[in-house]
Amino acid sequence: MAFALSYFLHPAVHNTLLWQYHEIVLASGLYMGLIWFYLKERWWPFLIMVCLLLSCREDMPFTLVAFGCLALIEKRWRYAMVTILLAVLWWLMAVQWLMPLFNGQGYFRHVHGTLGTLFANLYNPRFYLDRLSDPQSLTYLWQVFFPLGFVALLSPRFVLPAIPTLAANVLIGGYNTQIGFHYSVSIMPFLFWGALEFLRSRRHFFDLGKGLATTIRTGALVVAIVGANGWAYSQYSVLHLRRFPDQWSAWLVNAPKRDFLATFDREFPHQGIAASAFLLPHLSHRERIYLFPNPWETHYWGIAGENPHHPNAVDAVVLNRDLYIQSNLLK
């Protein structure tokens, strides 16, 4: 129960729900199913989870190949080989066939994204040293690992599936190493799994049947886990008013604006909207919604800003005004 509460308190999990809306969020629950069916040796449900995870996004094969490597270490050959094979086949089909079919350009991130960065610096150790020693990267690693007391690192093989995403985030830097965004979805389930497996291997230390001292140790562990995640939540959640005064939290404490937003959403459910990033999740059920300043000015739109929609698709603009004045997007 303490771990379940801590998982939802962890800022990397909670913030994901408040930052726009991304397909990768679907993977969070599917990872839980993947781990559960793997542990219970339920083959067909496990296979379904693999296929559903692959459908979330084109980079899911990296995490699943790493999961297959974990299964290889544990000598669970069928789980390992089928997972790795499906992941590799899906990757090839997605980047070689499906992406060119739908976007006309194929997999562009090998030039502009993670793979392009890695290939460009393949023989440049200075690049990796700079990224690993960057203060923002170190802060990000602290924010990810501290709420679990770094316990997950004591069961490294269960953390193995998180390594591709963790490494990509650190090497890319920028937004990827900010806990307020959605880039840690493929990391958190495996860190919690690793921490749980370590404690399970030490379960004799927390056996409640061995007297008051053991009960106190268990209670102290629960308080430490929940307390650390609660503290991290209070410090790194995007709802933290002092740390993020210009984001969605400003609306949380402003009753008139909040009531207006709820009334507008209820009375005009089909209107097209352009909205601030942290307001998008609360309006995302409608057919037409844009991250401002789209569609007037292309901003994170398509691959190269191609085929923008006409501004007449927008009936209302819902913004946190201060945020855009600071960024000069709102005149």
Question: pLDDT tens digits, residue range 201-217?
Answer: 876 665 655 567 767 77
Q: The pTM is what? A: 0.82
Share of the chain above pLDDT 70, in %: 83
Write out pLDDT tens, residues 51-98.
Answer: 999 999 888 999 999 999 999 999 999 999 999 999 999 999 998 899
Q: What is the pLDDT of residue 17?
A: 77
Could you give phi then psi for residue 297, rounded to 5 degrees?
-130, 125
**For the chain, what are the domain ranges?**
2-236, 249-326
- Compute the distance between CA of residue 197 and CA of residue 220 in angstroms, rounded to an integer: 18
Q: Is 87 exposed, middle or buried (0-12, 13-18, 19+ CB in 10 A)?
A: buried
- Least confident segment among 33-42, 106-115, 154-163: 106-115
Q: What is the pLDDT of residue 241?
A: 43
Q: pLDDT at residue 243 above 60?
A: no
Q: pLDDT at residue 124 above 90?
A: no
Across-strand partners of 289? Answer: 273
Q: What is the pLDDT of residue 206?
A: 59
Region 166-182 average pLDDT: 86
